């Protein structure tokens, strides 16, 4: 891809000043070129293209040179037919049409001819014309190749940068952004829409240089040959312009709909693969196929609507032009008495004028398609995360005193409270548990501490500092999280345990694994710590995945450890081992546990009972049992004659 860069660098150093590109100052020309790119592509995508301005200029200059050489065959065709095809050895001349300006005026001119070669035989003229044709085609081919290579370089570099920025944007957005969006749709925007941009950026920019310039040089040739005849062709221009406008609007509308339908299909693929066990378990395969068939049919219909307008413009323009062309040739023969060679040269030139005009109309359609894809991609890029560092935020010192909830209320949607007026204070080194019915708000409460979501009312402070006033990095690097849903990368065991701190060595990884009672089962794997865990850890059991997640949290040496149903997938023996590991961390870390299995929180310093988003009871295990309230009810449901460890 980069092999054309040295040529571009050389051209840029020579042609740069001519195009207003200087190392330290900006000229009117460079500003004009920037404005042109902004106007054509839109400011968002143009900002990425402008980073490679040298490559853009190189591509445009090379394509412009290539366009100038396409007119050479027209100048060769007339002498080839009228002179080169003569029989015998009588001397002939190669003359080309030209214009001569009257002295003292730029507006008065007359047609004349310039003799290139005279007094040679027809056969030698044919050889000369063939050589000139070969040289011109060779130069055109070389400039087209390197111009296309330069265009591929700047367009792919621009999309590469945009792809990286879009990925970073996905990561920076808070979990709240994803609640109302399908992940498959977002994947489509980062794949299908970017593929559209990648394919069209260079094509549009080059087309808007190559096609007008090609049409212009042929029009100049035709005006020199016979300006009256050429003006007859312009009767078709208003009709062509009307067709371009109508079809362009339709293409943009249907292009956007195609991308939306593509996103729905991608989303269906993604969701079905994630829930494949569920589909198999409920034997819903036929239903899913039927549902997907409807989405595929919708995509097909939208693509066909788009194609009707995208492909329809060319035939419509052909019909208009070829209604005009025969009449033009007849007029040229009957009224202007052009020779056969001149008519053939003019017919060739007319066809070469029409081809770039037709392609320019298709470029207009491509611009509309490009705008639709740009709108979808930058709809995400323009989204501002509601969880971000405040201006002038300071780093949070390592937690040493308390974690305080002060009248905290939170809801995922307005007026739908998940937590309401929650207040408590946890001291450093305490092990605190949160229990309650499903949906009481326990997991949501934990997710507020690392600012996965911001509180709706009230505040959360660590050591007296509001967590919204500190940097996210300094806050989250102090917190080790083990989620209820275990998330593992399709990588090795070593990679997954060391993910939180890649700089930690193997010794620290093994130590963390031992603390989580994962070392033994890891070493029992065929490749030990180099064992691949599979997609989302599918090659491991639920308990094994959970222990790797605990080891991952322990590795980063967090000041605060949050365990959301950390023992939910463990057998009784493994649960006991993990409890011992957690108890070994008491005092040195503040530990917050969400649990349904009350057996995992028996050694907690304090227990908070949540119901309907509010704390209804709190205290030590003995105090809560003595209250004979909601906690006693939960306790008796599990231990009152039922098997130890049964879930509520």
**What does the pLDDT look like over 324-343, one tens digit per residue?**
667 677 777 777 777 777 77
Rg, the chain, Cα only: 37
pLDDT tens string 280-295: 665 666 777 787 788 8
Average pLDDT on 242-251 reads 72
Q: Which of 457, 354, 385, 445 is nearest to 415 (CA)?
A: 457
Burial of 375: CB neighbours in 10 Å, binned 0-12, 13-18, 19+: middle
Give domain status of residue 83, yes or no. no
- The whole-model pTM stands at 0.74
What pLDDT shows up at residue 540? Answer: 85
Most confident of 23-27, 62-66, 316-320, 405-409: 405-409
CB 605 within 8 A of CB 623: no
| Residue 612 belongs to domain with CATH number | 3.40.50.300
- Residue 645 confidence (pLDDT): 40
402 in the same domain as 358: no
Domain count, the chain: 2
What's the rounded Cα separation, in Å, for the pair 43 and 27? 20
Q: Enumerate the β-bridge partners of residue 563.
A: 482, 593
- What would the DSSP string read from start to end of 462-518? ETTEEGGGB-HHHHHTTEEEE-SS----SSBHHHHHTTT-TTS-HHHHHHHHHHTT-
Ranking 56-60, 81-85, 101-105, 160-164 by mean pLDDT, the lowest is 101-105
* DSSP code at position 26: B
Closest Cα partner for 545 from 558, 531, 556, 557?
A: 531
Q: Which of 139-143, 359-363, 637-641 has the lowest mean pLDDT?
A: 637-641
Residue 428 lies in a domain: yes
Token pair in block for residue 476: 């989250």
DSSP-assigned beta bridge partners for residue 117? 94
What percent of the residues of the chain are helix, what percent strand, and what percent coil, each to the nearest 5?
A: 60, 15, 25
Calpha distance 186→178 (Å, rounded): 9
d(Cα 317, Cα 247) in Å, to the nearest integer?
11
Higher-confidence position of 312 and 13? 312
Q: What is the pLDDT of residue 181?
A: 77
Tokens found for residue 6 = 């040295």
Mean pLDDT of the 200-227 span:
82
Which strand (E) or helix (H) includes residue 521?
A: helix 519-523
Single residue among 335, 357, 381 that ends a domain in this structure: 381
Percent of the chain scoring above 90 in pLDDT: 11
Is position 332 within any domain?
Answer: yes
Q: Are residues 341 and 448 in the same domain?
A: no
Q: What pLDDT, on the 0 to 100 scale, is given for residue 121?
A: 84
CB atoms within 10 A of CB 471: 15
206 with 272, same domain: the answer is yes
Neighbouring-strand partners of residue 425: 404
Q: Could you give the count of Cα atoms lying within 13 Å of 494 in the half-sphere of its Cβ? A: 14
CA 36 to chain centre: 24
Q: Do 338 and 362 reside in the same domain of the chain?
A: yes
So what's the pLDDT on residue 50? 86
Q: Is the pLDDT assigned to residue 406 strictly greater than 90?
A: yes
Do 153 and 231 have their domain in common? yes
**pLDDT surpassing 70 at residue 263:** yes
How far apart, in whole angstroms, are the C-alpha atoms of residue 22 and residue 26? 7
Band (317; pLDDT cuts 50, 70, 90): low
* pLDDT of the residue at 20: 40
**How buried is residue 193: exposed, middle or buried, by Cβ count under 10 Å (0-12/13-18/19+)?**
buried
Segments forming the whole domain that contains residue 432: 393-478+560-566+592-643
Q: Does residue 481 or residue 37 have the better pLDDT?
A: 481
Residue 29 is predicted with a pLDDT of 47
Per the listing, tokens 């010794």 go with 507
**Cβ-proximal residues to 246 (8 Å cutoff; 6+ apart), any chain:** none
For the cut 60, the answer to whether the pLDDT of residue 5 exceeds it is no
Percent of the chain's residues with pLDDT above 70: 82
Residue 174 has φ and ψ, to the nearest 5°, of: -75, 160
In this prediction, residue 419 carries a pLDDT of 93
Residue 8 pLDDT exceeds 60: no
How far apart CA 149 and CA 171 sit, in angstroms, is 33
Residues 458 and 331 grouped into a single domain:
no
Task: Check residue 642 and give its pLDDT.
Answer: 44
From 344, 389, 281, select the one nearest 77 (Cα to Cα). 344
* Residue 252 CB neighbours (<10 A): 21
| Token code pair at residue 344 | 């053939």
Are 423 and 286 contained in the same domain? Answer: no
340-381 vs 72-82: helix crossing angle, rounded to 10: 160
What is the per-residue pLDDT across 525-564, written as a single tens digit (0 to 9) for each?
A: 888 999 988 887 888 887 788 888 888 888 888 889 998 8
In a domain, 185, yes or no: yes
Contact yes or no for 503/474 (Cβ under 8 A): no
539 falls within a domain: no
Sequential DSSP letters for 247-298 = HHHHHHHHHHHHHHHHHHHHHHHHHHHHTHHHHHHTT-HHHHHHHHHHHHHH
Q: Answer yes or no: is pLDDT of 303 > 60.
A: yes
Report the relative pairing of strands 457-462 and 402-410 from DSSP bridges: antiparallel
Which of 360-369, 396-405, 445-454, 503-512 is the least confident region? 360-369
CA–CA separation, 145 and 140 (whole Å): 9
Q: Between the CA of residue 442 and those of 242, 419, 629, what are the distances in Å?
A: 63, 9, 18
Q: At 236, list the tokens.
A: 């078709």
Q: How far apart are CA 478 and CA 498, in angstroms?
A: 16
What is the model's pLDDT at position 470? 92
Query: Residue 646's pLDDT band (boundaries 50, 70, 90)?
Result: very low
Residue 354 lies in a domain: yes
Average pLDDT over residues 264-269: 76
Average pLDDT, the chain: 79
In this predicted structure, what is the pLDDT of residue 363?
83
Q: Is residue 188 part of a domain?
A: yes
The pLDDT-based confidence of 569 (bands split at 50, 70, 90) is low
Give the pair of three-digit tokens for residue 289.
Answer: 């196929």
Strand spans (E) along 39-186: 92-101, 109-120
> Which tokens sit at 230?
């050429």
Same domain for 346 and 432, yes or no, is no
Question: Would you state the pLDDT for residue 433?
Answer: 92
pLDDT of 465 higher than 70: yes
pLDDT tens column, 417-458: 899 999 999 999 899 999 988 888 888 999 999 998 999 999
Determine the pLDDT at residue 11: 46
On whether the CB atoms of residues 63 and 203 are closer than 8 A, the answer is no
The tokens for 565 are 């149903």
* CA nearest to 75, candidates 224, 279, 285: 224
* More confident call, 222 vs 55: 55
Domain boundary among 381, 408, 424: 381
Asked if pLDDT for residue 179 goes beyond 50, the answer is yes
456 lies in the same domain as 360? no
Q: Residue 250: is its pLDDT beyond 60?
A: yes
Q: Of 329, 354, 381, which one is at a domain's C-terminal end?
A: 381
Q: Which of 221-235, 340-354, 489-503 has the highest mean pLDDT?
A: 489-503
Pairing of strands 560-564, 479-482: parallel
CATH number for the domain spanning 229: value is 1.20.1560.10
Structure tokens, 387? 């969880």
Q: Do 458 and 346 share a domain, yes or no?
A: no
Give the Cα separation of 100 and 68 in Å (integer): 21
Are both 368 and 402 inside the same structural domain? no
Task: Please tell me whether residues 401 and 363 are part of one structural domain.
Answer: no
> 70, 85 in Cβ contact below 8 A?
no
- The pLDDT tens digits of the residues spanning 26-70 come to 444 455 556 677 777 878 888 888 888 888 888 888 888 888 888
Residue 465 inside a domain? The answer is yes
Specify the DSSP class assigned to residue 532.
B
């Amino acid at each position: 891809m980069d092999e054309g860069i040295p040529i571009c660098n050389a051209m840029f150093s020579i042609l740069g000043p001519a195009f207003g590109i200087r190392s330290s100052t900006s000229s009117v020309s460079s500003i004009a070129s920037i404005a042109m790119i902004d106007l054509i592509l839109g400011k968002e995508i143009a900002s990425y293209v402008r980073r490679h301005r040298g490559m853009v200029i190189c591509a445009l200059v090379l394509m412009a040179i290539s366009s100038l050489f396409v007119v050479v065959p027209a100048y060769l065709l007339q002498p080839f037919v009228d002179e080169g095809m003569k029989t015998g050895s009588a001397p002939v001349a190669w003359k080309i049409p030209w214009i001569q300006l009257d002295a003292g005026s730029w507006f008065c001119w007359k047609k004349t001819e310039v003799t290139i070669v005279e007094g040679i035989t027809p056969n030698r003229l044919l050889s000369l014309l063939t050589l000139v044709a070969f040289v011109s085609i060779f130069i055109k081919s070389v400039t087209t190749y390197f111009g296309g290579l330069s265009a591929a370089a700047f367009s792919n570099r621009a999309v590469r940068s945009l792809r990286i920025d879009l990925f970073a944007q996905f990561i920076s957005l808070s979990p709240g952004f994803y609640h109302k969006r399908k992940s498959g749709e977002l994947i489509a925007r980062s794949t299908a829409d970017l593929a559209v941009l990648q394919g069209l950026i260079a094509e549009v920019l080059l087309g808007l240089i190559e096609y007008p310039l090609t049409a212009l040089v042929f029009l100049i040739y035709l005006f020199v040959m016979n300006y009256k005849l050429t003006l007859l062709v312009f009767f078709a221009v208003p009709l062509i312009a009307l067709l371009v406008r109508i079809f362009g609007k339709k293409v943009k509308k249907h292009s956007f709909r195609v991308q939306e339908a593509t996103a729905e299909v991608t989303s269906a693929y993604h969701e079905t693969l994630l829930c494949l066990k569920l589909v198999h378990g409920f034997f819903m395969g036929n239903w899913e196929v039927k549902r997907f068939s409807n989405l595929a049919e919708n995509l097909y219909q939208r693509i066909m609507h788009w194609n009707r307008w995208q492909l329809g413009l060319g035939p419509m323009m052909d019909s208009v032009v070829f209604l005009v062309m025969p009449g033009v040739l007849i007029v040229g023969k009957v009224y202007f008495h052009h020779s056969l060679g001149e008519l053939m040269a003019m017919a060739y030139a007319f066809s070469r004028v029409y081809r770039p005009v037709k392609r320019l109309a298709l470029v207009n359609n491509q611009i509309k398609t490009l705008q639709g894809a740009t709108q979808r991609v930058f709809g995400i890029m323009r989204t501002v995360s509601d969880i971000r560092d405040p201006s002038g935020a300071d780093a949070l010192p390592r937690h040493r005193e308390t974690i305080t909830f002060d009248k905290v209320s939170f809801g995922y949607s307005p007026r739908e409270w998940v937590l309401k007026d929650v207040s408590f204070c946890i001291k450093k080194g305490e092990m605190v548990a949160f229990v309650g019915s499903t949906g009481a708000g326990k997991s949501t409460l934990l997710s507020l501490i690392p600012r996965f979501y911001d509180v709706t009312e009230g505040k959360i402070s660590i050591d007296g500092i509001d967590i919204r006033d500190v940097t996210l990095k300094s806050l989250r690097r102090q917190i080790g999280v083990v989620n209820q849903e275990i998330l593992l990368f399709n990588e090795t065991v070593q990679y997954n345990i060391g993910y939180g701190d890649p700089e930690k060595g193997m010794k620290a990884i093994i130590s963390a694994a031992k603390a989580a009672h994962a070392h033994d089962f890891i070493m029992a794997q065929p490749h030990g710590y180099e064992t691949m865990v599979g997609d989302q850890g599918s090659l491991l059991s639920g308990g094994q995945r959970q222990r790797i997640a605990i080891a991952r949290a322990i590795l980063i040496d967090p000041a605060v450890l949050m365990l959301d149903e950390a023992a939910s997938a463990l057998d009784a023996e493994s649960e006991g081992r993990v409890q011992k590991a957690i108890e070994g961390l008491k005092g040195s870390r503040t530990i917050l546990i969400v649990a349904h299995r009350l057996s995992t929180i028996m050694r907690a310093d304090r227990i908070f009972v949540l119901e309907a988003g509010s704390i209804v009871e709190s205290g030590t295990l003995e105090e809560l049992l003595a209250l004979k309230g909601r906690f006693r009810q939960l306790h008796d449901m599990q231990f009152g004659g039922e098997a130890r460890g049964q879930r509520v």
